[in-house]
Amino acid sequence: MRRVAIIGVGTTPFRPRWKDKTYFELAFDAAKLAFGDAGIRHTDVDSAVYGIYNEFFQRQVQPDLYVHDYLGLGGKPAMRVNTGGATGASAIRAGFSEVASGMSDLCLVLGVEKCGDCYDYNLHAATPEVLKSISYTADMTYEQPTGRTAAGSFALAVVAHQRKYGNPTEEQMARVSVKNHRNALLNPIAQSPMELTVEQVLKSPMIAYPFKFYDNCLYSEGASAVILASEEKARELSRQLGRDPIWITGVGASLDYAILGNRPNLYTFEASREATRRAYKMAGIDKPVGSIDLAELHDAFTGTEIMAYQDCFFCEEGEGGYLVDQGFTEPNGKLPVNISGGLLGCGHAVGATGIMQTIEIVLQLQGRAGKRQLDAPRRGLIQNIGGIACAWTVSMVLARSGYES
Amino acid sequence: MSREKDLKALSAGWKFAPPDKNAWIARQSARTGIPAAALEKAFEQEFSGRHELWEELEIPDQMRITYKFSYGGHSPFFRALRDYGRLLGARCEACDFTYCPPRRNCSRCYGETRWVELPGTGVVETFTTIYKGPLVQGKPKLICAYIRLDGSDFIVMSNVEMQDAARAEVGMKVRVVMHEERNGSFTDFHFVPASEGA
């Protein structure tokens, strides 16, 4: 397997709505930024992978066709990847395979999502139609009719986890919300940067027990792109760019049972554990704490970030809540999590989200993260989840030169 | 800004006449299936003062498919449910694992299953209460629970209705209540706490 580097990145800000851009125009903006950042022309890429989640959001079946066309890449091999919330990192994993296998030397991986055109004319709001579009991911015969939402599917697991281990408590979850919304204050692409108090989070309206309004990320529109390169290409472009590439040293994926009766329990996300195990194994990491200097973990809900602490082996099973108490994942903690603001602070432009997480790690490892720059991090972890109660996870380890293993 | 200037120059002297409100609403309603009354605001937003070329144009639109959906091999479950008000499971003849939701084929050992009637009692494994979602308009709360049914090795997602929703809890014993009007859907029944009377 060949080594794979990230040589360029580009993202639009995440916003509730980009009324002045269609999904393919947003894609174009992110692609243009990424090509510029890599110092290449669009015609230089050998292939493309598009991460786009929901047909109803885009009002288009097979929207990748029209992104590829608009980017002027006609004739080049390309495909769409869709693994729900994990679409972005899954697209990078597909691009990784493309380059690692030798089929491509340069590959564009681009995620885009535009949900805000959904609109309920009776209620004069986008949200009901957005939630309806998402609800069709639930098994249409046996689960969707019950009215369980996406938030509900994760809430079911968090409740089971709480009853088993006594945490995360609602206050611990609120502290994660405060942390990530605050982290976003330093991120120019963030949709929801704000200073909140634990009390404000606890008093916000209930959405799906035990998640309150500020325990949930907001849906966003946006596009994010990375350019993947073979080692030879990466070295050549690095010399021109005058900066080191970032290496993808570990990639792991898992798709768990989506019908939860098939799972051994409801209180862990085995897909997350398996994907992260695989990523660490490929990256040669035995002990993540001490090896990983920062992580972007999928905090669509505060409770899922806390469960991700154990699923990414930062602590023993059932101890995630205690890491919050210790300030372990605060920006000045031992292992900062979601320094970008995460999904809670930046928003969730589904197909783009895993790529946005990846871009944060790239910028941090290259010392390009502006006001939120951490002190010379060596390796970072991305965990991107999706589907019914975390059916999908893709985890990736990124490293700067000299720290590849 | 220069783009606006260009467009202003391009459209200099063009005349804008808004369409007839009622005719426009009737046309959009027929096109999209959106009730006419719900389109009043859209007309106001689209045509009161908005006509410059650079102002984003939003149209009512929809993607809608209707189905004659076949339950295929799962039909006996839905026939028993809709036509007889009975709850079935499917037991694997090879490994004895019992599914509800049912399966014709065992995903564990690839054996075939046979139909068995379930008593409709069970225990809540985990739950959430939905306060915001497609089905929660008007309904103050909606309890969604994974229930392990007696006689089954599987869990079902179903709604629980109880006198005090705040008392929903893991481990709670529940029993099925069949609805009077059934559509052949997995929401033709719900559960209530076993402790609450009929």
Question: What does the DSSP assignment read for B108-127?
Answer: TT--BEEEEE--SEEEEEEE
Name the residue of chain A whose CA is nearest to B168's CA. Answer: A209
The answer on pLDDT for B140 being more than 80 is no
Closest in A147, A155, A210 to B136, CB measured: A147
Structure tokens at A116: 């805000």
Which segment of A43-47, A96-100, B163-167 scores lowest on mean pLDDT? Answer: B163-167
**Run of H or E residues at B41:** helix B40-47
pTM above 0.90, yes or no: yes
Chain A residues within 8 A of B38 when measuring between CB atoms: 121-122
Q: Are strands A222-230 and A4-11 parallel, antiparallel or unpaired?
A: antiparallel
Name the residue of chain B whose CA is nearest to A60's CA. Answer: B63
- Mean pLDDT, residues A132-152 taken together: 93
**The pLDDT value given to residue A405:** 82
- Mean pLDDT, residues A234-255 taken together: 97
The percent of residues above 70 in pLDDT, for chain A, comes to 100
Cβ-defined contact of B133 to A141 (cutoff 8 Å): no
> Could you tell me if A388 lies within 8 Å of chain B, comparing CB atoms?
no
Cβ-defined contact of A149 to B133 (cutoff 8 Å): yes
Choose among A157, A224, A78, A162: nearest CA to A385: A157
The percent of residues above 70 in pLDDT, for chain B, comes to 97
DSSP code per residue over A293-321: -EEEE--SBHHHHHHHHHHTTSS-TT-HH
Top pLDDT among B166 and A341 is at: A341
- Mean pLDDT, residues A45-65 taken together: 98
Q: For residue range A10-41, what is the model confidence (pLDDT) as tens digits?
A: 999 999 999 999 999 999 999 999 999 999 99
Choose among A218, A153, A213, A227: nearest CA to A191: A218
DSSP code per residue over B123-158: EEEEEEEESSSTT-SS-S-EEEEEEEETT-SSEEEE
Q: For residue range A191-237, what is the model confidence (pLDDT) as tens digits?
A: 999 999 999 999 999 999 999 999 999 999 999 999 999 999 999 99
Confidence of residue B50 (pLDDT cuts 50, 70, 90): confident
Confidence of residue A353 (pLDDT cuts 50, 70, 90): very high
Q: Hey, is A111 helix, strand or coil?
A: strand
- Mean pLDDT, residues B95-124 taken together: 97
Closest in B133, B153, B154 to A152, CB measured: B133
Residue A144 CA to residue B186 CA, distance in Å, equals 9
Cβ-defined contact of B134 to A208 (cutoff 8 Å): no
DSSP code per residue over A358-391: HHHHHHHHTT--GGG--S---EEEEEEEETTTT-
The answer on pLDDT for B175 being more than 90 is yes
Residue A363 CA to residue A361 CA, distance in Å, equals 6
The percent of residues above 90 in pLDDT, for chain A, comes to 99
Query: In Å, how far is A266's CA from the nearest CA of chain B?
Result: 8
**The pLDDT value given to residue B138:** 61
A–B CB contacts, 8 A cutoff, strictly below = 122
The answer on pLDDT for B139 being more than 70 is no
Cβ-defined contact of B146 to A56 (cutoff 8 Å): no
* Phi-psi sector, A228: left (phi>0), alpha (psi -120 to 50), beta: beta
Cβ-defined contact of B41 to A132 (cutoff 8 Å): no
Chain A residues within 8 A of B186 when measuring between CB atoms: 141-143, 145-146
Confidence of residue B74 (pLDDT cuts 50, 70, 90): very high
Choose among A204, A226, A228: nearest CA to A214: A204
Closest in B41, B107, B157 to A142, CB measured: B157
CB A356 within 8 A of CB A245: no
The number of angstroms, rounded, from the C-alpha of A27 to the middle of its chain's C-alpha atoms is 17
